[in-house]
Amino acid sequence: MSVADILTVLLVSVGLVFFLAGSVGLLRFPDFHSRLHALTKADNLGLGLIALGVAFQVAEPFGIVKLVLVWFLAVLAAASVAQLIARSALDRLPDGKEADKRG
Amino acid sequence: MTAFLLLAALFLLATIALGFLRVHRGPSRADRIASAQLVGTGGVAVTLLLSAASGNGAIIDVGLVLALLAAFAAVAFVKSTAADGAGDPEEDEGP
Amino acid sequence: MTGIIDSATLFALTGCALIGLGLYGFIVHAHLLRRILAFNVIGSGIFLVFGALGYLGTGQGTDPVPQALIITGIVVALSLTAFAIALAIKLAEEEKTAFLDDATPTEERPE
Amino acid sequence: MSAAFLLDAGLCLLILAAALLAMAGRDLFGAIAFFIVYGIMIALAWVRLEAVDVALAEAAIGAGLTGVLLIGAWAMLNRLGVPEDHKPAAGWLRLVAGSASGAITIILVAAVMALPAGREGLAPMVAEELADHGVSNPVTGVLLDFRAYDTLMESIVLVVALVAVWALTPPAVWGGVPGLRQHTRPDGVLAMFGRLLPPIGLVVGVYLVWAGSSQPGGAFQAGTVLAAVWLLVVMAGIHDEPPVSSRLLRTVLVAGPALFLAIGIAGLGVGALLAYPAEYAYALILLIEFTLTFSIAATLALLVAGRVRRAP
């Protein structure tokens, strides 16, 4: 096993832990706005670590450019969507509690 | 190495399955659509692992397209929650 | 094929199950959007059977001819879905329903 | 049992679960959310089957455009106040439906299992034919060369479907603008997202069509990505849809199929319909592919936008 392989195994494994944390958070957090933390933070950190781990296995430089772009797009999408959904969910909570259970 | 990457992908599928539960349970529509996007992020990660496992760089392009379009369903949903069905939840806020 | 099934066969069998699931949904649900979903599940099940049977083995990938036909199929399914949705919305606007059996039959409609 | 087989088995389970929940979920919006998830899982299945071209198409269409289309339709029905519930299907109907689909599944499974092992397929034949045409992605070769008539017909089907959607336009707004007028807070997150993503999407789209001649990608995948990018520009309120009576728009819509058809008919001169002269085959395929990409993008974007709702 080369140094690159060891780094891949380490980074991917830590990335997997973040994905697991994200999914558990998504299931266990009590309300929608706390569940958004799981969506935006844990999973995108996990994806970044996995992309970094995979980068050690990529031969051509263009592949690394694509990996960086994938991660950037995922973070951009999650950040924008989290803000928008959080905002639209707030609109439907006039008295500070979960007013509209169905959405 | 290949076996490790494939098992890592399998582990990701298990976390995606947990995400399925939230899409199913809701309770709000925002929950469902946000967790569908989380499944998408997991799917992107799986494509990256499969690309490394098979040594086929073109598989990253699948992840690229998934990541590019990941937000679209949620954006369509957010727009539909506005009063006239074409707005933006941030419009009514003060500056 | 004897003994343990391989991965490609597994995907082909999944495709068979998807066709059955989609067919069940298509018959049981009356809501037009649900029928459109079911139609798409049947379609992708057929594609999966077709593509998985064209799998040639690790490193060789899937036969390019089924791949090309499946790509055209996916795009045609999308265009028909868009048309079906436009029809469903038209029905909803005129009859306030998404169920065909609630709609007024054509011969009873006022001109 | 190998890691690869375990992974494939897990993926098949998730695909079946997503399809089941999309079919049987009680909530209609939940069913649509599961259908989007299902599209993502199917794209992964194509990756596992090493059909990356199909995976790209499924990722762009199944997980991208179809979701926008379905959620838009759901929102429209919701706003019209259409009830989602109905009298549930009768017990006998469920029984008949269950046994009929069960029987069909069993017949299909039996047919699949009865197929002889060891498949050669058409790949060697395709590879042999491609050798002198300069296009090294076999799928693009099949789409635009050996079975070009399928692709030609399909590009025409897309335009016909769009004409059918437009045919639902009431006379008062004929020739007008599709969909609702979208608006956003100009300095808000959505407007920013709608400005930041399209340039990247444009690059990805052009990359996919450019890469399509030598590696997975091509006109359909690229066209879908470009269509999605345009939809985002519209949803973010940055630019309105063009009126469908616009001559420029109509030219873009038919340019791809028309050029394809013209080159195909010219092929009669060298032997057969849709035959390319060998020395120009590569250039002609690229020309068709690029033109087709923009026609497909415009057609798909307008199909998702739906029928005309506003006067010109």
Tell whether the model's pLDDT for residue B95 goes beyond 60. no
C102 CA to centre of own chain: 24
Closest chain B residue to the Cα of D304, Cα to Cα: B76
CA dihedral D168, D169, D174, D180 (to 10 degrees): -140
Alpha-carbon distance A80 to nearest alpha carbon in chain D (angstroms) = 6
Kindly provide the residue ranges of all beta strands, DSSP E only, lying in chain D, ordered along the sequence.
177-178, 308-310
Joined tokens for residue B24 = 């199913």
Closest chain D residue to the Cα of C97, Cα to Cα: D82
For position C106, what pLDDT does the model report? 65
Cβ pair B66:D63 closer than 8 A = yes
pLDDT digits (tens, 9 = 90+) for D245-295: 889 999 999 999 999 888 888 888 777 777 777 777 788 888 888 999 999
- Work out the percent of chain B whose per-residue pLDDT is above 70: 95
Q: Is residue A31 part of a domain?
A: yes
Interface mutation target, options A5, A24, A26, A45, chain B, most CBs of B under 10 Å: A26
Structural domain total, chain A? 1
Chain B residues within 8 A of A98 when measuring between CB atoms: 28
Chain D residues within 8 A of B58 when measuring between CB atoms: 52, 211, 215-217
Cβ pair B62:D52 closer than 8 A = yes
For position C108, what pLDDT does the model report? 67
Q: Is residue A96 part of a domain?
A: no
Do residues C23 and D100 touch, judged by C-beta distance below 8 A?
Answer: yes
Chains B and A touch (3+ CB pairs under 8 A): yes
Q: What is the mean pLDDT of residues A25-53?
A: 87
D233 CA to centre of own chain: 19
| B30 in reach of chain A (CB within 8 A) | yes
| B84 in reach of chain A (CB within 8 A) | no
C28 CA to centre of own chain: 15
Joined tokens for residue B55 = 């040594």
CA–CA distances in Å: residue D299 to residues B19, D74, D85: 34, 22, 33
| A103 in reach of chain D (CB within 8 A) | yes
Residue D170 neighbours by CB under 8 Å, 6+ apart? none
Cβ pair D204:B85 closer than 8 A = no
Closest chain B residue to the Cα of D51, Cα to Cα: B59
Alpha-carbon distance D3 to nearest alpha carbon in chain B (angstroms) = 6
- The pLDDT confidence band at residue B70, using thresholds 50, 70 and 90, is confident
Chain D residues within 8 A of A40 when measuring between CB atoms: none
Do residues D135 and D269 touch, judged by C-beta distance below 8 A?
Answer: no
Measure the CA–CA gap between C41 and C44, rounded to whole angstroms: 5
Of D87, D50, D72, residue with least CA distance to D235: D72
Long-range contacts of range A62-65, CB-CB < 8 Å, 24 or more positions apart? A62/B57, A63/B57, A63/B60
Do residues D47 and B62 touch, judged by C-beta distance below 8 A?
Answer: yes
Measure the CA–CA gap between B91 and B80, rounded to whole angstroms: 14
- Work out the percent of chain D whose per-residue pLDDT is above 70: 97
Longest CA–CA span in chain B (Å) reads: 54
Residue type, D99: S
Of B85, C31, C96, residue with least CA distance to D82: C96
Measure the CA–CA gap between B6 and C8, rounded to whole angstroms: 16
For position A96, what pLDDT does the model report? 42
Residue D179 neighbours by CB under 8 Å, 6+ apart? D234, D241, D305, D306, D309
Measure the CA–CA gap between C3 and B53, rounded to whole angstroms: 27
Cβ pair C92:D66 closer than 8 A = no
Do residues C53 and C44 touch, judged by C-beta distance below 8 A?
Answer: no
Measure the CA–CA gap between D72 and C64, rounded to whole angstroms: 34
- Which of B22, B32, B89 is nearest residue A88 as measured by Cβ atoms? B89
Residue A72 neighbours by CB under 8 Å, 6+ apart? none
CA–CA distances in Å: residue B54 to residues A68, B2, B3: 20, 7, 10
**Burial track B29-64 (b if 16+ CB lie within 10 A, e otherwise):** bbbbbbbbbbbbbbbbbbbbbbbbbbebbbbbbbbb
Of B57, B2, D206, residue with least CA distance to A64: B57
Chain A residues within 8 A of B33 when measuring between CB atoms: 85
For position D134, what pLDDT does the model report? 66
Tell whether the model's pLDDT for residue A38 goes beyond 80. no
Joined tokens for residue D49 = 């089957």
Interface A–B counts its CB contacts (< 8 A) at: 165
Q: Is residue A57 part of a domain?
A: yes
Does the pTM surpass 0.90? The reply is: yes
What is the Cβ-side half-sphere exposure of residue C59, based on CA atoms within 13 angstroms? 0
Alpha-carbon distance A65 to nearest alpha carbon in chain D (angstroms) = 12
Query: What CATH architecture applies to the domain C7-100?
Result: Orthogonal Bundle (1.10)
For position D270, what pLDDT does the model report? 77
Which chains are within 8 Å of B by 3+ CB pairs?
A: A, D
Interface mutation target, options D20, D46, D47, chain B, most CBs of B under 10 Å: D47
Closest chain D residue to the Cα of B71, Cα to Cα: D64
Joined tokens for residue D288 = 């068709």
pLDDT digits (tens, 9 = 90+) for B83-93: 777 777 777 65
Measure the CA–CA gap between D312 and D309, rounded to whole angstroms: 9
For position C54, what pLDDT does the model report? 85
Cβ pair B80:D78 closer than 8 A = yes
Q: What is the mean pLDDT of residues D16-36?
A: 92
Q: Which residue range forms the structural domain that includes residue A20?
A: 3-91
Count of C-beta atoms within a 10 Å radius of residue D75: 19
- The pLDDT confidence band at residue B8, using thresholds 50, 70 and 90, is very high
